[in-house]
Chains A and B, each alone.
Chain A
Amino acid sequence: MRTGYLHGLDWLRVVASAAVVYAHTRDWFTYGHQTWWVNGVLDTAVLDPLRVGSLMAPLAVTTFFLISGLVVTYAAQKESPGRFLARRMVRLVPALWVVLLAVWLVTRLGLDAGARGEHAGDVSTLLTNMALLNFATGSPGLDLVTWTLVVQVPFYFLVAATIPAMRRWPWLPPALMLTLLSVLMSVVRNEDAPGAHTLRVVVTLLPIMVLGQVIALTRLGKLPVPAGIAYGALAWLLVVRGDLTSDFTPAVPGYPQMVVCIALLTIICSRLTGGVVGARWVKALADRTYAVFLLHVPVLYLTPHLLSTTAGTTLAFAVAMLGTAVTADLLYRFVEKPTVRWYRGWENRGQKSAERARDDLAGRVEAAR
């Protein structure tokens, strides 16, 4: 069983992180009716030939979903359901809450950090955002990229619930999940209410995480390659079905095309070792991708506003990137890492050193988001 650290996925996460930051920066300039020379170059050289002009942000998010599905399946091989869920939550929640609190405070000060809605500064808004309930109730969002967690968290619960089955019958969890999602896709058709739309988003995008799980199980030798291909095809066809049966989700032309490309790229990258992909700086950047993901939109809204767009788009972009890099590093060093350390220490209380669970941040298997 190959459970070694997947260096290539670190590299892929860094690239995906850069793509999502670029996409939101481009959107920010576009909405402000500004042109940025980088857009033209990238569109002509890469995006137009591949016919994926509008797909940069979905491309990055889909990459995160796939990698997440893959690496949590690796982690699930060693953890009990309770420990699995607790570890995921410890990785996700503290950083999320700190960022939401910061955005909420900045919004209350009257600055634009990307929060939308009339009552964005209310305490109830902060609380609903912290529980991710704003996507169900339609209340204002403080950091809109957090919608991806609404897809990931149910997947973690599904994985936790199927861990015992996965150990005995590895073919069963993906089969159960795909069946459940197929049924839900038939049921959730009306997307008028915010909650229904969110549920449809979850049901349409969860097959991508299942695809990641299938890649992991195949890599681990728990699924034969033909079965892995068959499951992968079924998961992808669910994405196609979701696309064909909804006008709003995923609402991105060419989305199924992109999912296939990213799945193949993930398979290729999961085999890469050494060289640049194994470099320490890649690992360091990969460790901060969650922080970058949470922070780049608020920082993007704040910094160019403070700087004023008269300074030019390139300078505004450079300042936004610097701001994102600094705040993401602070979030990682002073929130993410200490929380995980503290939790692992609490987990290992009273145990001899040989029995202690290894720290995720230094462990061989990445307990990713």
Chain B
Amino acid sequence: MIALLRAGAALLVVYSYLVGLWLHQHGADPQPLAGIREWLNRPLRAGEDFGPFALMVLLLCTGWTTAAARATGRDLLRTALPVLVAAPLAAAALAAGLDVWTYSPGAGLVPLAWVIGLQLVAALVGLDRRGWPVPAAVLCWIVLLVAFDVDGLGKPALFLTMVLVGHVARRVADGVLPGWAGLTLGVGCFAAVALLDRTVDGLHQWWYPVAATYAVLVFLAAVAVPAPDWPVTTWLADRAEWLLVLSGVVGFAVLGLLHLRVPLSAAILCAVAATGLAADAGHRLTRRLTRRTA
């Protein structure tokens, strides 16, 4: 089911950080987006068009998979490559006067690069074979973060708890950790989320504990269920990180170029298709590079 979860998360990332965000930044609220917000986002209280929820599911899956197998250098390269490619691409697009998502103050050229950073951290967490020392240490670090008022790391720290939950869930499923220890660490992660939500400036308004609750529940409900490997889910799951970083670069650039020339729906379709093509190219590049380093 991990592939299906990653595929769903990848789709939601594109929907949120390309379609939803671009339309929001340009003051547009067309159907069916408005309907989805009215009938799904508001009743669920899931903000930002499911973006944070999707990122959390992705990180839960990362925690699960890195706990299953020790990450190698190739895995680290595979994880980091999307950002290494997207950052110069974004710089070039900006230099060419194209529309790129860098609007959030201090977000840098690839605003979602921190998610990739957390995936690299997940590889380190996965080195912990016993299952509890590293999650416990990270939870202590989060408490210190709050104690010393380091607001800048608040959001990544909150999302990092999802990596821990995925890691712990896998360790419990494998029988490495007893259920009570897993539950204790899970409650610790929830406490950390609640603590960060209350204490870090600017986090409270985003309702991340709600998104985190959904993400964890969906993950736990689905992860043990066997699911068929459909080509579309495999395709999306394999390219999830590329879609994540390229939505704000390729997708925004294409949408910015086309929205005044063609109908908005056609521009969105073109932007999604271009992001998909770019992600596919990125995935092929990853395969080629990792094959060479093998």
Contacts and interface: CB of A to CB of B under 8 A. Distances in A.
A184 interface: no
Contacts, number: 52
Given A237-B39, A257-B44, A261-B214, A49 B221 contact: no
B217 A49 contact: no
B220 interface: yes
A244 B217 CA distance: 25
B197 interface: yes
B18 interface: no
A318 interface: no
Contact of B43 (A46, A240, A261, A268): A240
A6 B221 CA distance: 15
B213 A261 contact: yes
DSSP class of A's interface residues: helix, strand, loop or mixed?
A: helix
A155 to B, nearest CB: 22
Contacts of B209: 49-51
B221 A267 contact: yes
A317 to B, nearest CB: 24
A50 B213 contact: yes
A257 B221 CA distance: 16
DSSP class of B's interface residues: helix, strand, loop or mixed?
A: helix
B103 interface: no
A267 B1 CA distance: 15
Interface residues of B, number: 23
A260 interface: yes
Interface residues of A, number: 24
A183 interface: no
Contact of B221 (A51, A254, A264): A264
B218 interface: yes
Contacts of B39: 237, 240
B87 interface: no
B121 to A, nearest CB: 23
Contacts of A244: 43
B210 A243 contact: no
B207 interface: yes
Contact of A45 (B180, B194, B217): B194
A264 B218 contact: yes
A48 B190 CA distance: 13
A256 interface: yes
Contacts of A240: 39, 43
B194 A49 contact: yes
A38 to B, nearest CB: 17
A260 B44 contact: yes
Interface string B205-249: 001011001100110110011010000000000000000000000
A210 to B, nearest CB: 17
B130 interface: no
A4 interface: no
Contact of A51 (B45, B193, B217, B224): B45
Contact of A257 (B179, B210, B218): B210
A225 B225 contact: yes
A44 B195 CA distance: 9
Interface string A214-256: 0000000000010000000000010010011000000000101
Contacts of A260: 44, 214
Nearest to B196: A49
B198 interface: yes
A271 B220 CA distance: 10
A49 B43 contact: no
A202 B3 CA distance: 39
B138 interface: no
B230 to A, nearest CB: 11
Given A50-B209, A50-B213, 13 more contacts: A45-B191, A51-B45, A240-B39, A244-B43, A254-B45, A260-B214, A261-B213, A261-B214, A261-B217, A264-B217, A267-B221, A268-B220, A275-B179
6 contacts: A51-B45, A225-B227, A243-B43, A264-B217, A264-B218, A275-B180
Interface of A: 44-46, 48-51, 225, 237, 240, 243-244, 254, 256-257, 260-261, 264-265, 267-268, 271, 275-276
